[in-house]
């Protein structure tokens, strides 16, 4: 491997990806494993951790799974201490765990709003805060926050999610501002509409053979004219975790097929 290509290697690095039993987190962790990293992940229940461990094993990946609620500061501090003891100091953190509640704002309770903000914004603060001291001691670190197009755009029924993801974009910039001098880079990835099991019903063909209305809407809004695949996030995630991005800090890389650049098709 050339010296240049070595910059993209994650050999010898320990990567913690939160909520990575399945979906986007699992895809990113799988790419990190292929690039040479040791994989650590958490989930909120033992059964989810077990499912995740089985899925990694099926791919030939030796992963370490922990049960932890990322909104609970004591649990997070204990998990990070355990990882440092059992696996090593965390070099790469991906704040992937997240939730969404699609409820019109005036029908949403303050408690529901707080729950979304707690998982999508407070948790990345809590987990980042837990790993940064050891990154400072080690002299390097990478933090990647899974942001969203809702870090930039609003849409019906996602007031809490958009508020949290907009806040996460600014937390990303602030971590970069505060800890950049310690050779810690904090960036975000903003996925577009990604084809996952959760979005499968929105992509099913209608009885008359036509696309689902939401599917039509997304295709029309995306210059790439397709949904993203979880694999589309792997290259950007590896880049932002690697030495190749050492002078990239406080940036959100939108992997959206061009949606944010596009005003949309003119009606016929």
Tell me the C-alpha distance between 175 and 198, whole Å: 31
Per the annotation, the verdict on 32 as an active-site residue is no
Name the catalytic one among 66, 161, 179, 254. Answer: 161
Q: How many beta carbons lie within 10 A of that of residue 222, not counting itself?
A: 19
Catalytic residue IDs: 161
């Amino acid at each position: 491997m050339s010296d240049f290509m070595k910059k993209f290697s994650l050999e010898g690095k320990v990567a913690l990806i939160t909520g990575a039993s399945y979906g986007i987190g699992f895809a990113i962790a799988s790419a990190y494993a292929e690039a040479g990293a040791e994989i650590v992940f958490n989930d909120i229940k033992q059964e989810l951790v077990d499912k995740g461990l089985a899925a990694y094993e099926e791919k030939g990946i030796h992963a370490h799974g922990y049960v932890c609620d990322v909104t609970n500061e004591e649990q997070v501090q204990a998990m990070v201490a355990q990882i440092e003891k059992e696996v090593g100091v965390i070099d790469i953190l991906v704040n992937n765990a997240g939730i969404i509640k699609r409820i019109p704002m005036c029908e949403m309770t303050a408690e529901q709003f707080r729950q979304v903000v707690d998982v999508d914004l407070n948790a990345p603060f809590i987990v980042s805060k837990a790993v940064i001291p050891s990154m400072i001691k080690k002299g390097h670190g990478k933090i990647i926050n899974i942001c969203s197009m809702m870090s930039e755009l609003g849409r019906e029924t996602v007031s809490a999610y958009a508020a949290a993801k907009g806040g996460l974009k600014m937390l990303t910039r602030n971590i970069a501002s505060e800890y950049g001098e310690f050779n810690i880079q904090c960036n975000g990835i903003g996925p577009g509409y990604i084809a996952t099991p959760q979005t499968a019903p929105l992509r099913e063909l209608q009885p008359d053979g036509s696309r689902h209305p939401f599917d039509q809407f997304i295709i029309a809004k995306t210059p790439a004219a397709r949904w993203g695949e979880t694999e589309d996030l792997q290259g950007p995630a590896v880049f932002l975790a690697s030495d190749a991005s050492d002078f990239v800090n406080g940036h959100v890389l939108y992997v959206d097929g061009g949606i944010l650049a596009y005003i949309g098709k003119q009606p016929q």
